[in-house]
Chain A
Amino acid sequence: MSAVILFLGVIAVIAGWWLSQQRLTSKPWLEEGSIHDFPGTGAMTWPAAKVGLGVFLAVAGCLFTLFVSAYSMRMTMVDWRAMPVPKVLWFNTGVLVLSSVALHWAYIAARRGDMDGVIVGLLAGGTSAITFLAGQLLAWQQLGAAGYFVASNPANSFFYMITAVHGLHLTGGLVALGRTTAKVWRQDAMTAEMRLSVELCTIYWHFLLLVWLVLLGLLTGWTNDFVDICRQLLS
């Protein structure tokens, strides 16, 4: 459970930093008056959707970290047999990076007000994300063909489960991306609302890329040494 404790520690630091800006040591019973006497303590000025996405990413991050925690606890049992990594995963990773880059490009285009650039970026991002999902299914198929079934070893079980959860999150993102693309498609000029939608999609994509890189490191065993070091530090 140390991974998730570490993650919550990071959340706690962020929350603590924010709370420290909120005059938690003030004495409200002595302070009647308007808000202008206490600058910076009102409601957040970020758009609600952006704050909401931030909170959601904390929840999703917690979920993935818990999977990582469970993985690192289960992998120490004697029946664990590491699984070969299908080559197609490298291709998939590249495609997901491309997807993130394309969306970031759309985001920059949106800030410049370049409608064509936004459309191209969104479509490229969406297409490569779908390619990534197809590639993940291909990886499943290859593993199945090679005899690595879901239930034959816990390493396999974790692989299928974690890639499925990541894929579902990406699928949910694709719904939002589709709606954003449709919105941009129908409009002639960039509005603040569209800019925000593109930005939120980009943030979410970067988050899922980061999660995927961490998961890939875990599933391919790259991070084993790192995990061992952490384990020794803790025990």
Chain B
Amino acid sequence: MVDVPYDGIAGTVVPPAEVPDVELYHPKSWLTRYVFSQDAKIIAIQYSLTASAIGLVALVLSWLMRLQLGFPGTFSFIDANQYLQFITMHGMIMVIYLLTALFLGGFGNYLIPLMVGARDMVFPYVNMLSYWVYLLAVLVLASTFFVPGGPTGAGWTLYPPQAILSGTPGQDWGIVLMLASLILFIIGFTMGGLNYVVTVLQARTRGMTLMRLPLTVWGIFTATVMALLAFPALFVGSVMLLLDRLLGTSFFMPALVEMGQLSKYGGGSPLLFQHLFWFFGHPEVYIVALPAFGIVSDLISTHARKNIFGYRMMVWAIVAIGALSFVVWAHHMYVSGMYPYFGYFFATTTLIIAIPTAIKVYNWVLTLWRGDIHLTVPMLFALGFIITFVNGGLTGLFLGNVVVDVPLSDTMFVVAHFHMVMGVAPIMVVLGAIYHWYPKVTGRMLNAGLGKFHFWVTFLGAYLIFFPMHYLGLLGVPRRYFELGDAAFIPPSAHSLNAFITVVALTVGFAQMTFLFNLVWSLFEGEPSGGNPWRATSLEWQTPETPPGHGNWGKELPIVYRWAYDYSVPGAAQDFIPQNQPPATTGAVQGAAS
């Protein structure tokens, strides 16, 4: 039925698209099939496992930080320098090496070819290189834990001058390797990013117009375009900082006295680095958020058995957010000493970007309205995302205003804000997406009972951790401090609140182990899922084999006849119509043919 080609009006037969121009690569040995693989699905799994592994390191670092904050002076193995190193590595790993790599390298690689109906990425060899360069970047990063002086403690923003001055931990090797690792990461990402963009532009199957793409693809595609244009700024900043550190140039380094002596530097501008860094850094927030927006739209639509509300508006909002996010960067720099009225321009653009974002939130809620909501584990995580994102977004409106940001900027309020909006919210989507697509990747379902336990502990725990943190911030508890000491403005209750947060954080952290157990256990013992366990419409669920075989589609590519959200269509036999199912009149055509 699915393979019967159909031409809407004339009723003539349209042959399925063939792909003569992409010579599909065929692995010859175990090594080229599973290790040096050029198959996007294998590369996706490699990306995901590497990102998760280094992410677990960052998770452990956060436990160590919380131990120190909750029970200062108790743990002799954590000193002030190490605390700064933990902060730096935790932030850098989570933002770049985990979230960016997982959303684009992991989900992008797996889902783009399947969702657009392609056999593979358009440049499989470059795609493979992308992963290996990424792995090298991760290894260089991890190696800083073992070099003399340890990793850099400059904070994840690596601001000069302190990032390369003595007194900052990791001044010898840590900062050099960190910058080298970032440069490698960007090179590797650019290779992958070219693939994701060109595959969406050039390898969509017949009938897959842009306006029929699932929003997941729209989100990943737009985020990749943004990343390709934003990462060069980090690249330039990293190269210049590396030259300042290694060759003694003064791009960013002002004249200053170091250890009682006049340093060799002079005349440089630390503000220049901040501009470059945040020109990358703000789009980076949306590089992580846009794929999450896309994925959550698909999860909600599928599990509420209802078409996504305002598909066009969702697409426009994604594009608008992508464009606007390049002109808001200096809202991270209100306290940097830049020209103050400059800040008001950026406050305005920051508040404007809330409009397309709010449109998306309304559309999600309206999709749920009167839907046939199935509270499956992916749906629970999607709902958790919406609530968390709204919470984090609201405090973003506070911080986007110059006069509110200035007193709050160096407090725990900011930590709470960006962990809600950029930490918990995207991780909710990552987890929901794994529960949703795991059956496609492995052919088995994850255990739902364990999944629900995992969700509730993670969701409630995240709120117990980060809600009190907002309050600590309003009290004026500073961030980045190793210990608070006896400051008059910090009441004893703040200290006990810190201890409470630590206990919850450790509990939530350990609860993630049930998820890891579930991933491994279900691989062998999970209930077989079949090809389309969620009865979803998009193409990746319509593959002839599950998990999809090499080349994804068997002999012929699918033909797309409709958008990705035909759920609960009145009069249809089932409550979903796959994208590659021809319109109803084909029955007549088929009958005439036979």
State the A residues within 8 Å of B (CB): 1, 4-5, 8, 11-12, 15, 19, 22-29, 31-38, 41-44, 46-49, 51-52, 55-56, 58-59, 62-63, 66-67, 70, 73-74, 77-80, 150-151, 154, 157, 161, 165
Contact = CB atoms under 8 A, between A and B. Distances in A.
Contacts, number: 175
Nearest to A48: B122
B235 A63 contact: yes
A58 B311 CA distance: 29
B7 to A, nearest CB: 5
Given A56-B194, A62-B232, 20 more contacts: A1-B279, A8-B326, A28-B311, A32-B561, A34-B14, A34-B561, A36-B8, A41-B211, A42-B206, A44-B201, A48-B21, A48-B203, A49-B123, A52-B194, A55-B228, A59-B194, A63-B236, A77-B267, A154-B249, A154-B250
Q: Which 3 residue pairs spanning A and B have beta carbons closest together?
A: A79-B267, A33-B8, A28-B563
A172 to B, nearest CB: 11
B275 A1 contact: yes
A35 B579 CA distance: 13
Of the four ranges (under 10, 10 to 19, 20 to 34, 35 or more), the interface on chain B belongs to 35 or more
A128 B5 CA distance: 54
B275 A62 contact: no
Interface of B: 5-9, 14, 21-22, 122-123, 190, 193-194, 197-198, 201-212, 225, 228-229, 232-233, 235-236, 239-240, 243, 247-251, 264, 266-269, 272, 275-276, 279, 307, 311-312, 315-316, 319, 323, 326-327, 559-563, 565-566, 583
Nearest to B255: A79
Contacts of A37: 8-9
B202 A44 contact: yes
B268 A154 contact: yes
Contact of B269 (A33, A67, A73): A73
Nearest to A192: B21
Contacts of B250: 79, 151, 154, 157
B234 to A, nearest CB: 10
Given A28-B212, A78-B267, A154-B268, A52 B229 contact: no
Contacts of B243: 150, 157, 161
Contacts of A67: 236
Nearest to A25: B312
A46 B201 CA distance: 10
B236 A24 contact: no
A24 to B, nearest CB: 7
B228 A28 contact: no
Contacts of A59: 190, 193-194, 228-229, 232
Contacts of B268: 74, 77, 154
A44 B212 CA distance: 15
Given A33-B583, A52-B122, A59-B190, A70 B236 contact: yes
Contacts of B207: 34-35, 42
Contacts of A41: 209-211
A79 B235 CA distance: 25
11 contacts: A32-B8, A32-B583, A33-B9, A44-B201, A47-B21, A49-B123, A52-B123, A66-B236, A150-B249, A154-B251, A154-B267
B18 to A, nearest CB: 13
Contacts of B315: 24
A205 B474 CA distance: 56
Contact of A74 (B248, B251, B563): B251
Contacts of A24: 210-211, 312, 315-316
Nearest to A56: B194
B284 to A, nearest CB: 15
Contacts of A11: 229
A12 B323 contact: yes
B121 to A, nearest CB: 10
Nearest to A151: B248
